Amino acid sequence: MTELEATAAGVNVLRRINLTIQDGEFMVLVGPSGCGKSTLLRLIAGLETLTGGNIWVGDRLINDLPPKQRDIAMVFQSYALYPHMTVYDNLAFGLRRSAELAEDGEGERWTERNRTQSKLQTRSTERSRSSNSKITALPHASLLTRTLLWFDRPNAPKWLHNRLAQERSIARRVQTVAEMLQIESLLDRLPKQLSGGQKQRVALGRAMARDPQVFLMDEPLSNLDAKLRTETRTQIVNLQRKLGITTIYVTHDQIEAMTMGDRIAVMNAGQIQQVARPLELYNHPANRFVAEFIGSPPMNFIPVQVKAPLLIQHAQFRLTLPESWEAALRPYDGRSVTLGIRPEHLSVSLPAPKNIPVRVERVEALGSETYLSVQIAETLSGSPPLQVRIESERPTSIGESLWLSIAPDKIHLFEPDTGEAISQNSMRLL
């Protein structure tokens, strides 16, 4: 994607999007609601119109291609299953449409891929041989198709032979997908007879059955409960790795993004803020927005003043930074910057000038760990509290006074006006 632009009602929804996704990569687009990530997905799918820029899939420019010719499959948040069709027919629908396009001369790519080796078909060859009688009978096909089987004789019309050969090929593909997703027993059910998790697997299967060049997934897990979301998350990642199909996955959940993506593109206000691997985003955020969005609980931010060469100070504490910060801090001598520190990089300590005096306002005991919400002593009412992660064994009560130490090698500094990260020498190449 190069220089993509999109507007709606005169408002810029996407601005100068530049993003290259490698073949077979699992790319996650993450950001708050309304940041433009779903719009970007719909542009790739051909469901919305570009204002400017280009979208390439491999060596094909797809800007002006209709959705059906882009060789892209999309999984929607709402599942978008056809309520009057069985699971089998929902899985087969895209394949039948592709075959119709081929007959009309529009599906050259589909027929060529089926003459060679489809990822799914290669994987299913042995299974297909062992279940040939099942495929011949087409037990899950429509009533019309099963009726046509009665007339499948050597002297039958050519169109009938072609139609049934096509249905058998589709049946093999559907059977393979159903086995991979463990939904074989659901093939004769209607969507209204399925649970949320089962509907999600059928929606995934419909996309997989087409064996597209690209999968697009628009918040596919948002309607599932927490336990099922975790299970399905793992299943999607495993399937993508098996199939090796380039996948673009949209979510507003940063935990999903961190656990699923090979790389993550963080979006805000129609722009990409940073693209990086999960841990690089976490450890080296490009700006305050990324630092705050990635991580749960989010990073803490404290206004401080720089005193060269390595001192930063607040009304309640003074901290000397490692020497690697010296060159980066020199231009900021006497100026205010924003100190960022993650909850796990604060720890309960003893009174000292370098430590922060705080008062506990809330305690969240989670069993394996405890989160504290604390207020810096003698700060103005309404100042945002700090979030601290401590070991669960340490007893803490609301109203208690504590001193917190900061891990100096884990701090982040940001420009107070732009929010851009101030990089120390050791990070400049990143």
Q: What pairs with residue 74 in β-bridges?
A: 216
Residues 190, 196, 201, 203: is their CA dihedral positive or negative? positive
CA distance 138 to 152: 13
> Residue 229 sits in a domain of what CATH number?
3.40.50.300
**Residue 286, domain member (yes or no):** no
Q: 406-424 burial string, b = 16+ CB within 10 Å, else e?
A: bebeebbbbbeeebebbbb
SS3 assignment, position 132: helix
Same-domain pairing of 121 and 66: no
Interacting residues of 59 by C-beta distance below 8 A, sequence separation 6+: none
Q: Band of the pLDDT at 108, cuts 50, 70, 90?
A: very low
pLDDT digits (tens, 9 = 90+) for 237-275: 999 999 999 999 999 999 999 999 999 999 999 999 999
Q: Final residue of a domain: which of 186, 203, 237?
A: 186
Would 163 be classed as within a structural domain? yes
Same domain flag for 267 and 380: no
Q: What is the pTM of this model?
A: 0.84
E strand or H helix at 108: helix 108-115
SS3 11: strand
Residues 357 and 367 sit within 8 Å (Cβ to Cβ): no
Domain membership of residue 191 (yes or no) is no
Over the chain, what is the mean pLDDT?
86
Whether residues 323 and 251 fall in one domain: no
Distances from the Cα of 329 to the Cα of 204, 356, 408, 428, angstroms: 50, 22, 14, 13
CA atoms within 13 A on the CB side of 161: 6
Query: Both 115 and 30 in a single domain?
Result: no
Q: 303 and 341 in one domain?
A: yes
What are 377-416's pLDDT values in tens digits? 987 666 899 999 999 888 899 999 999 999 999 999 999 9
For the segment 373-386, what is each residue's pLDDT rounded down to a tens digit?
A: 999 998 766 689 99
User: Is residue 292 situated within a structural domain?
Assistant: no
Give how many domains the chain has, as a whole number. Answer: 3
CA 418 – CA 328 distance, rounded (Å): 16
336 and 402 inside one domain: yes
Strand, helix or coil for residue 298 = coil
168 part of a folded domain = yes
Domain extent, residue 100, equals: 87-186
